[in-house]
Amino acid sequence: AQTVTQSQPEMSVQEAETVTLSCTYDTSESNYYLFWYKQPPSRQMILVIRQEAYKQQNATENRFSVNFQKAAKSFSLKISDSQLGDTAMYFCAFIGMNRDDKIIFGKGTRLHILP
Amino acid sequence: NAGVTQTPKFRVLKTGQSMTLLCAQDMNHEYMYWYRQDPGMGLRLIHYSVGEGTTAKGEVPDGYNVSRLKKQNFLLGLESAAPSQTSVYFCATSRGGNEQYFGPGTRLTVT
């Protein structure tokens, strides 16, 4: 069974710093998707970034980028020039490529951006 | 485009009462899901549907029922609420095998 592990329950960084959130996963599949979701205090779950496993190039969305290491089954999220609005819970997630595969979420990392 | 909406946003129930949560989507997605989110537990899948008229059990289905009579709506029912069902409930949709889009959540308290 697939699992997703986020080893950092909580982190704090100063505004404008760069922060990296860790995520590892376990699967026997070769093709799959990985995601990072953000959940701010408003509770809304927002998709931050997605990565297809068959793409070697790391995904980037503005200040958010990932370091995808397929062999190591690692998928970390880097937030550059962090802003107060980045304060949120961040969830790493995995899903296989079959239509009926269900998404597997990690337990989350609570990130505090300090002024 | 409203995306994914949930009704109600908040609700307080007494033990033993029943209620239905409504999830509606205008994204024309086939797949719909109900999750509950509890502190330290992340998101746990309650029930899901792969299309109109279909439903299936997720990780924590006990005490809940669902129906998908129309493609755009997915209902989650609690027949006899218990304090253990106090949680935040999220609906999500997807095209299947891909990212999910979430509703704003419903905070339910059972006293």
- Average confidence (pLDDT) over B76-93: 96
pLDDT of residue A89: 96
Which chain B residues are Cβ-neighbours of A101 within 8 angstroms?
97
Decide which of B95 and A73 is more confident.
A73
CA distances from B59 to A93, B46, B47 (A): 16, 6, 8
Q: Give which of B43, B94, B108 to mutate to test A binding, by max A Cβ within 10 Å.
A: B43
Which chain A residues are Cβ-neighbours of B43 within 8 angstroms?
91, 105
pLDDT of residue A100: 79
- d(CA A49, CA B42) in angstroms, rounded, equals 19
Picking from A42, A50, A107, the nearest residue to B40 by CB comes out as A107
In A1-115, which ranges are continuous DSSP H helix? Answer: none
Phi, psi at A99, each rounded to 5°: -60, -35
Q: Give which of B5, B10, B35, B37 to mutate to test A binding, by max A Cβ within 10 Å.
A: B37
| Residue A31 contacts B, CB cutoff 8 Å | no
Give A58's DSSP letter: P
End-to-end CA distance of chain B: 36
Low-confidence ranges of chain A (pLDDT < 50): none
Which among A37, A68, A40, A38 has a CA at the least distance from the CA of A54?
Answer: A68
The answer to whether the CB of B30 falls within 8 A of the CB of B51 is yes
3-class secondary-structure state, position B83: helix
| Residue B34 contacts A, CB cutoff 8 Å | no
Which among A105, A50, A48, A1 has a CA at the least distance from the CA of B98?
Answer: A50
Contact A47 B90 (CB under 8 A): no
- Average confidence (pLDDT) over B10-20: 97
Beta strand pairing call for B101-102 and B87-94: antiparallel
